[in-house]
A = this chain, B = another copy of it.
Amino acid sequence: MAQNSGVIYLGQNKVEVQSIDFPTMKNPAGKDIKHGVILKVVATNICGSDQHMVRGRTTAPAGMVLGHEITGEIIEAGDDVEYLKVGDLVTVPFNVACGRCRTCREQQTGVCLNVNPGRAGGAYGYVDMGGWVGGQAEYVLVPYADFNLIKFPDKAQAMSKIRDLTMLSDILPTGFHGAVSAGVGVGSIVYVAGAGPVGLAAAASAQILGAAVVMIGDMNQERLKHAGSVGFTPIDLTRSENLGELIAQIVGKPEVDCAVDAVGFEARAQGKNGEEAPATVLNSLMSIVRAAGAIGIPGLYVTEDPGAKDDAGKTGNLKMRIGLGWAKSHRFYTGQTPVLRYNRQLMQAILYDRLPIAKIVNATVIPLDQASKGYADFDSGAAKKFVLDPHGLLGSS
């Protein structure tokens, strides 16, 4: 059991499964902790935000173990873990959070003040997020376990829905946060920018929140086709540079109640030969959201982008048409999702068969040692959400 292996970032477009240290009850600063658990990883997904790193669009150092979407079984529990025990199957929020600081107490676990010396907010296996070892691995340490983890009430039932439940660690709450912060409610007309997994999760969230119609825009034909096949209204952005026009074709006017940016800073300009244009999604959303509406922005915008085309972009400085948003009294909600604010209720929705998120994001299980291929396929735009299966517990795809 003292062996471990995980997905390592080796440099631009290069990841590899290698042998790594078995986790111990120490935090990244090397201090002993009492509140941690060690998990046998049951499922761990590849995330679009991992892609930003792998594409070299962040300052992530080579050698990092990747992975922040983790579901696992507890195999060891620290001395101050009181409400969980060995054998429990748990979902892990991607945010590392202490549960003891001001922001955690206020349900803002995305910006915990204690787990990252560099800035507010921690995560597993992510650049600038505190140095916590990633979970695309056989085993991983989770600190502050009583606070961070939610145990599935029935292990067998949970294993039978594991492809859905694995989405609780990140993309489902992230999509949900986007939808909630955009003000989606019963009867809303909703537009989601981006038909990748987070966009699909935002669309699924809008659906279960009662939206009247959920449109989802992208330029990738395979993803659009998939989005249509699971019940959303796809919008092919290569057809026009005018998003309002495309929306009017569906709902009769160039306006929506709510919009979600599930793309982030690697956005490309809409139209036939879209070049990278980092603020294009934000600006197009201001053009279509109704007056007094809100824009949820779960898509990642970074403080440092070494791959940006201009100097402003290199420091996350983008040309936003804020004058337009202001004229329409828009609200803008940014930041990492505080997963713990949403995952319990989303778990219930899955367990009671109300939210078939695996099908919606096209969950595709692959063995851990095929992670490298998974990254490549995902990067090429496959309409799939890859779930790594480090211990062969998930059955065939």
Measured CB to CB, the residues of A under 8 A from B are 33-35, 78-80, 82-83, 98-103, 105-108, 110-111, 113-114, 119-121, 146-147, 176, 185-189, 205, 208-213, 265, 279, 282-283, 291-292, 297, 300-305, 312, 315-336, 340, 344-349, 351-352, 354-355
Contacts and interface: CB of A to CB of B under 8 A. Distances in A.
Given A208-B210, A292-B108, A324-B303, A317 B319 contact: yes
B119 A327 contact: yes
A318 B327 contact: no
Q: Specify the main secondary structure of chain A where it touches its partner.
A: loop
B300 A326 contact: yes
A101 B292 CA distance: 13
| Total copies of this chain within the assembly | 4
A330 B354 CA distance: 27
A327 B302 contact: yes
Contacts of A291: 103, 108, 111, 113, 119-121
Contacts of A120: 291-292, 328-329
Contact of A331 (B105, B111, B331): B331
Contact of A210 (B119, B210, B304, B317): B210
B319 A213 contact: no
A213 B349 CA distance: 9
A34 B32 CA distance: 13
Interface centre among A103, A110, A352 (most CB of B within 10 A): A352
Given A121-B327, A187-B348, A326-B300, A318 B320 contact: yes
